[in-house]
Chains A and B, each alone.
Chain A
């Protein structure tokens, strides 16, 4: 089996993309090495140690090291976790192109956030949004960087908040 059961729509979309490309995640030594090298390049560009990437992604440090050296196959689930932690799409790790996305112009800056909140995941499922569009919505929401609530508590977005946001900007998503 190429991939394990998916967590949410984003993983399903990625898995479908992987299957569509006919990519096997095990037994492809060249792909493993290329992908591993890309992961290492991106990790170094972000200024992350192997341990830090392990903490952020939830994937063990030893496994990440083996992936970077092209020694082991990686499940799509873990690939998604690592890609999210590096602020890139899975596509960029799988493609034969050199990695350019995720390398910020501002080299002192942290990477973009790609954790998908539950409310947004539900909207993505409801409207059949692609992973790319979902990330676009998330990225735009994250650009709203600071609230100042009168009671000092953080303000969380509900599913309805995400729905209203999507409906307001959906006409601009392809152009953006």
Chain B
């Protein structure tokens, strides 16, 4: 799908959500997200739902989506058998090749032969052959497509035209929509208040995860919590790698920034990609010994590549190592 096609698709989203006739750039992202959240609120009864998975199931029901998670070859064979051989849905002839592609996390297939009111008019196929970690977000990502786009998304296009990188714009939008509908304010308000009271730590994140989204990964929950908390907070993970230049001598524990709270964004507090973790930090210590920590830390030892210090002085850092990666939350104290 080229950029022009995706541009038209973004226009379609704007029209479908009633926010405009044409997609007019980044400000429309906020409008689209708000419109999708409002659609979900109107479509389902949130009062009796306590977990994100329940929300996913209700949204799926309203939007005629059936989830099919592929964990092994038997799952794949069964899906092919039913939809391709019995229902003659030709699209499922592509299923095996797509699922076997390691780059494919999920697919959304619209059935051509389904009745207009069929509960499985769309099938969201989740690729869990290699890992189940992404199933949670893949569900919401595909639901994001269904909530934001019109029932018929297939477009007539014969013209190729160079525009900006619309594919990333579309997928980023859908990811953001997914993030919002997975953690609706009505669902997370109480647990977030508790987290604000207790302070940010991985223990608190894990408690939040088990309460709201037990099937979500730790990383995605960490980001969701940080983005929604009222404190000034950041999230990141760190792994061993060199600088961007690839200089072997520069190999060290380096940061990949993740989510930031609204307060941190407002105050322009952030880490830079590939910033080195000082060996005095608790992040480094957890990487070395694998022991999770939550500690008050002075930021004086954290320096950028040009030797500058960060904008803040003290933080409560919570760290946990998973494999060869250290995940960290940082609540800024001063």
Contacts and interface: CB of A to CB of B under 8 A. Distances in A.
Contacts of A172: 84, 88, 90
Contacts of B84: 168-169, 172
Contacts of A46: 156
B91 to A, nearest CB: 4
B97 A113 contact: no
Contact of A110 (B94, B101, B141, B155): B155
B156 A165 contact: no
A43 to B, nearest CB: 11
A104 B108 contact: no
Contacts of A86: 156
B10 to A, nearest CB: 12
A140 B156 contact: no
Contacts of A106: 150-152
A176 B113 CA distance: 9
A145 B141 CA distance: 13
Chain B CB within 10 A, most for which of A145, A152, A153, A164? A145
Q: Could you say which interface size class chain A belongs to? A: 35 or more
A175 interface: yes
B145 A145 contact: yes
Contacts of A56: 156-159
B107 A144 contact: yes
Contacts of A165: 93-94, 97
Contacts, number: 145
A109 interface: yes
Interface residues of B, number: 46
A113 B116 contact: no
A125 interface: no
A36 to B, nearest CB: 19
Contacts of B93: 140, 165, 168-169
B154 A113 contact: yes
Interface string A73-90: 000000001001111000
B79 to A, nearest CB: 13
B244 interface: no
A143 B89 CA distance: 10
A113 B156 contact: yes
Contacts of B141: 146, 148
Given A144-B109, A150-B102, A161 B97 contact: yes
B155 A113 contact: yes
A176 B112 CA distance: 10
B280 interface: no
Nearest to B161: A55
Given A165-B93, A172-B88, A143 B111 contact: yes
Given A149-B105, A150-B104, 10 more contacts: A110-B150, A113-B157, A114-B158, A140-B94, A140-B112, A143-B109, A144-B108, A145-B109, A146-B141, A172-B84
Interface of B: 1, 8, 12, 16, 84, 88-91, 93-94, 97-98, 101-113, 116, 134, 138, 141-142, 145, 150-159, 167-168, 171, 174
7 contacts: A108-B16, A110-B8, A110-B155, A113-B155, A143-B109, A165-B97, A172-B84
